[in-house]
Structure 1
């Protein structure tokens, strides 16, 4: 209770000031304390200088050690132990002093002999471990190669499942480098001939390149397959979007739209194929669309855009999708997402594979070869403007990395530029999109042939596209109409001077990885086929029973509503 004060026979309450538990104080008090501390230190230094001149020695106020009390029962024994320890420390100190004295008196010849002897002993000790170290390195390398081979086989197994179950295949290409992110001709022809599938090329990320480049690549790619230009949605978390919003993003807002750009054209193409497929095969009630392509080209993002919700997970990290995922779009269309597969050998396209964002830049041991490939494919002027660097010789990767390292302060001891760290930073900027780049489309027929459109003229390519989707459906007219709408939705065009032009990588001869993929997809690899059949039987059984009482995929299809294409 508060104290009471009596005055004139009246009682008054005295309010006690509240005690604050917080250590926060006002700035006025804070700066006052700082000034007092500084002033106290200044006075102490001034007094110590005066005492030093006057010869006054001021002892510390710390208490002196009283020593061992006389009442301690073993005081004498303890004093003897302390004396012995003191003598031992003195003896050791004298020995160290004597050794230092003897070391100073050695001649140069004695020092050289001692150094040679130490080196010989070290070599003899390490010599026995050289062979075992080499063997260990070889075994580690073999294990890493076997692990990479096993991972590729696992992804190929998932890819084969998607191809087997699909009626139409959507091959997703990165619009910045369509040739580099396209499956090799050998694998593509094997898929089309052996499995008798229809293929549509989807040019994704068209918002990252100029409009002229989009039109040029559409013309080139349509010589072999129907091609649709598209930009996947950037935010698929809004699952309550209305169906009429699909593909309706207009103008500059399309670049930040969750619905994406070009979705309407792709859905219309699938709708017409479902219609023609239903007429040809009366018993077929739905079609399955498989989505394939290199890692990080936007396969899962396109699936989420078509579904208008976050149906599958997406990540900028390569290899995020590791297995086949099935999503029901409506009663007539199912979508299958597949993991990205790299069809390159390490000795053939390892550096170019890193530039396709198929490998995490932080996990690369030596990123300099990838930057070497980048510098050789880009003009020096564009890299100078991007990183604000002075002029350097074209193709000289070491000078370029030295300049980048000094520009961003990535240096070692002695001011030596850290080229490895700079190369990793450049590779990270390239894969994350901080460096805006694109590969210009080929302009001559020779370039078109080199970029995989060889062997089919305009008439032959047109006939191939029309025959793929039925003569009753005018594919070319529909694609042209889609292009006009997509270009309108993209808004203002970008200046080509803001981009780094990259020379396209022409397709090399069939690699070992391509041949292995063809053998696996055609069933010539018996060991993998047996393993594949065993896993397929287990997957089918699990999908039918589903083990946890969940609905099967057929039940999900039955519950889905029809996709309202007319609302588009």
Structure 2
């Protein structure tokens, strides 16, 4: 049952009591006023009729009254003029401040636009600009190739730009990630690539000491790094660069270029012996040219990734890590995954992901989503997120 609101009506006893108290209060106030002797102001009796020069006095009083009125009127006009002048000054000041704010906003908008353009380091134009900077500043260019797909990682336009630059620029191929392919394949690729340009096999360190690690090891003793932190090929590459540096009269600058995720920054870290450049599994960690001094005669220049032409096939773009699983459109990710699965051996894919036979890439993605528990509302397979996961597996 709903509770009723309390009534505002008063009983007669209570109402009469309140009225009585009010009357007593008023009586008390009147009594106190009488005690204080509250007097009414006396009325001006004026000039008696029998007084001599009454008319003259009255005329003088009238004139005095008029003068006072005129003075008051003049003061009032002066006050109004002063107020008007102040109001106009304030209006001018307000207009000036509004104008300044508008100009400031315009200039801020322009500067923001400029800074946005400058700060948009993820744009393709910015990457290309930084890459050109590295190529122009370098005496030796290291083109980093992924040992799993060396020909797919080569950029003929870049190689042509280096060889036809007119200067004394040298191009050196670095076959990275050799631990991910059989030894026979590495040897065959080295023999094939050496016919065109000098080639060095390399395995970057996957776990690097931080810059402050040397101090930590001194204080806390030996730090046990895993076997994966060992790298291969750095001595050979350093020897080549040092020998070339001796032939020059100046310190050489070595530019490191290549497609996304081929291990450009990791190679510099391996040569330096500590973490000098930021590295990550995702593409585009390096956004601008970075300079790392190996020694007095050798300076390494880390560069952003080579930007592949979007008109290439979906398979090419996917395998070269051009399609970003997080930043790209879901349709592009699905197209890239479909291209990869269509060109792979079905048996190997089934063994790798431990799933049953499938007829097409769409069925493969739905089976994998069910196996990994990646389902939407109503048990519908989350195809988009599974596609991102597969793309990361194949390009990472």
What residue in structure 1 maps to residue 381 of structure 2? 417
CA distance in 2, matches of 1:149, 1:305: 26
Distance 1:430 1:413, change over 3 A: same
| Partner secondary structure for residue 205 of structure 2 | coil
Quote the Cα distance in structure 2 between the aligned partners of 1:322 and 1:298. Answer: 14
Are 1:190 and 2:176 an aligned pair? no
Q: Is the 8 A contact 1:180 1:356 kept in 2?
A: yes
In the other structure, the counterpart of 1:377 is: 343
Higher relative CO (Cα under 8 Å, sequence separation at least 6) belongs to: 1
Summarize the alignment of residues 229-244 of structure 1 with structure 2, pairs less than 5 Å apart.
229-239=201-211
User: RMSD across aligned C-alpha pairs, in angstroms?
Assistant: 2.9
- Aligned mates of 1:159, 1:168 — CA distance in 2: 14
Report what 2:305 is aligned to.
340
Q: 1:293 aligns with which of 250, 258, 275?
A: 258
Structure 1: which 4+ aligned runs deviate by more than 6 Å? none
- The CA distance in 1 between the partners of 2:10 and 2:204, in whole Å, is 86
Distance 1:149 1:333 in 2: 27
1:392 aligns with 2:358: yes
User: Which whole-Å deviations, capped at 9, do the CAs of 1:60-94 have from their partners, x for residues lacking one?
Assistant: xxxx8763334x3499xxxxxxxxxxxxxxxxxxx
Per-residue deviation at 1:415?
4.2
Instruction: Give the distance between the partners of 1:240 and 1:211, measured in 2 at CA.
Output: 36
Do residues 266 (structure 1) and 232 (structure 2) align? no
Deviations 1:399-451 (A, max 9, x none): 2222212222334455443333322221122233xxxxxxxxxxxxxxxxxxx
Question: Deviations along 1:10-47, whole A, 9 cap, x unmatched?
Answer: xxxxxxxxxxxxxxxxxxxxxxxxxxxxxxxxxxxxxx
Q: Distance in 2 between matches of 1:294 and 1:74?
A: 90
Asked if structure 1 preserves the Cα contact closer than 8 Å seen for 2:208 and 2:229, the reply is no
Query: Residues 66 and 324 of structure 1: is their aligned pair in 2 closer, same or farther, counting only changes over 3 Å?
Result: closer
Count residues in correspondence: 276
**Matches of 2:122 and 2:205 in 1, distance apart?**
33
Distance 1:336 1:362 in 2: 28
User: CA 1:429–1:208 in 2, change beyond 3 Å: closer, same or farther?
Assistant: same
Work out the CA distance in 1 between the residues paired with 2:166 and 2:358. Answer: 51
- 1:210, CA displacement in angstroms? 1.7
Give the CA deviation at 1:296. 1.6
Confirm or deny: 8 A CA contact 1:368 1:420 kept in the other structure. yes
Which residue pairs with 1:30 in the alignment? none
Distance 1:162 1:149, change over 3 A: closer
Cα distance in 2, alignment partners of residues 330 and 311 from structure 1? 13
Cα deviation 1:461-486 (Å, max 9, x = unaligned)? xxxxxxxxxxxxxxxxxxxxxxxxxx
Tell me, yes or no, if structure 1 residue 68 matches structure 2 residue 68.
no
- Residue in 1 that maps onto 2:334: 368
- Offset of 1:195 from its aligned partner? 4.3
Shift of 1:165: 1.3
**C-alpha separation in 2, matches of 1:254 and 1:220:** 33
TM-score (norm 2): 0.63
Counterpart Cα distance in 2 of 1:314 and 1:286: 26
Deviates most, 308-317 or 158-167 = 308-317
| Structure 1 segments unaligned to the other structure (5+ residues) | 1-63, 76-147, 243-252, 279-283, 433-568
TM score, norm. by length of structure 1: 0.45
Q: Secondary structure at the match of 1:68?
A: coil
Answer with 1 or 2: which has the greater Rg. 2
1:218 maps to which residue? 190
Q: Deviations over 1:243-277 (max 9, x none)?
A: xxxxxxxxxx984225x2111111111122122x2
CA distance in 2, matches of 1:255, 1:386: 25
Corresponding residue of 1:401: 365
SS at match of 1:361: coil
